[in-house]
Amino acid sequence: MKKTAKLFFFILTFLFVATAWDEARATPLLAMQSVERCDTCHEEPDRSDPKWVEENYKLSERKCRVSCSVCHVNPSGGMQRNGTGYYYGTKSLSLTTDIPDDVERYIEAIREHGFLTIGGDFRFMAIRGDSTDVDPLYFPMQADLYLNARVHKHVALFTQFGLERAGNSTVREVFGLVDNFPYNSYVKFGRFIPPYGLRLDDHTAFIRTKLELSQAQSDAYFSGVEAGAEPTLFFARAAHFNSDTTPAGSTGLTPTGYSTTAGWAGRWLHLSLSYLGINDLDASSTGSTERSAYGVSGALRYKTLTYLFEFDRKSDDVTSGSVSTEDADITFNELNWRAAQGVNLKARYETYSPDASTGEAELKRYAAGVDFYPFPFTEINAQYRTTDSEPGETANDFFVIGHIWF
Ligand code: HEC
Ligand code: HEC
Quick check: CB of 20 below 6 Å from ligand 2? yes
Question: How would you classify the pairing of strands 171-181 and 185-192?
Answer: antiparallel
Structure confidence at residue 55 as a pLDDT band (50, 70, 90)? low
Structure confidence at residue 285 as a pLDDT band (50, 70, 90)? confident
Separation of CA 160 from chain center? 15
Structure confidence at residue 96 as a pLDDT band (50, 70, 90)? very high
Structure confidence at residue 15 as a pLDDT band (50, 70, 90)? very low
Question: Residues 236-276: pLDDT tens digits?
Answer: 999 999 998 765 555 678 899 999 999 999 999 999 999 99
Cβ atoms of residues 288 and 282 within 8 Å: yes
How large is the average pLDDT for residues 124-135? 92
Per-position DSSP letters for 291-307, written without gaps between them: EEEEEEEEEEEETTEEE
Give the helix/strand (H/E) hosting 322.
strand 322-340
Is the pLDDT at 35 greater than 90? The verdict is: no
Quick check: CB of 35 below 6 Å from ligand 1? no
35 C-alpha to center of ligand 2: Å?
A: 10
How large is the average pLDDT for residues 284-306? 93
Other beta carbons within 10 angstroms of residue 74's beta carbon come to 25
Nearest residue (by CA) to ligand 2, atom 3, is 41
Name the pTM for this structure: 0.91
Quick check: CB of 354 below 6 Å from ligand 1? no
Per-residue pLDDT, 249: 52
Structure confidence at residue 374 as a pLDDT band (50, 70, 90)? very high
Structure confidence at residue 26 as a pLDDT band (50, 70, 90)? very low
Per-residue pLDDT, 376: 94
Q: Which atom of ligand 1 is nearest to the CA of 198?
A: 35
How large is the average pLDDT for residues 43-70? 78
What one-character DSSP code corresponds to residue 275?
Answer: E
Per-residue pLDDT, 131: 85
CATH class of residue range 3-405 = mainly beta
Quick check: CB of 32 below 6 Å from ligand 2? no
Question: Residues 132-159: pLDDT tens digits?
Answer: 889 999 999 999 999 999 999 999 999 9
Per-residue pLDDT, 76: 95
Q: Which atom of ligand 1 is nearest to the CA of 265?
A: 38
Of 245-254, 336-345, 359-368, 392-401, the range with the lowest mean pLDDT is 245-254
* Domain ranges (residues) in the chain: 3-405
CA 246/CA 169 separation, integer angstroms: 14
Cβ atoms of residues 86 and 119 within 8 Å: no
Residue 96, C-beta contacts closer than 8 angstroms, at least 6 positions apart: 342, 374, 375, 376
CA 47/CA 56 separation, integer angstroms: 11
Q: Which atom of ligand 1 is nearest to the CA of 144?
A: 27
Is the pLDDT at 281 greater than 50? The verdict is: yes
Greatest extent of the chain over all pairs of C-alpha atoms, in Å: 77
Question: Which of 43, 46, 55, 64 is the best mutation target for the ligand 2 pocket, counting ligand atoms within 8 Å of the beta carbon and taking the most?
Answer: 64
Quick check: CB of 308 below 6 Å from ligand 2? no
Give burial (CB, 10 Å; 0-12/13-18/19+) of 158: buried
* Long-range Cβ pairs for the range 339-343 (8 Å, 24+): 339/304, 340/95, 341/94, 341/95, 342/93, 342/94, 342/95, 342/96, 342/372, 342/373, 342/374, 343/95, 343/370, 343/371, 343/372, 343/373
39 C-alpha to center of ligand 2: Å?
A: 9
Quick one: which of 210, 224, 148, 218 has its CA closest to 179?
148
How large is the average pLDDT for residues 86-96? 92
CA 264/CA 232 separation, integer angstroms: 9
200 C-alpha to center of ligand 1: Å?
A: 8
Residue 322, C-beta contacts closer than 8 angstroms, at least 6 positions apart: none
CA 288/CA 277 separation, integer angstroms: 14
Ligand nearest to the CA of 68: 1
Ligand nearest to the CA of 20: 2
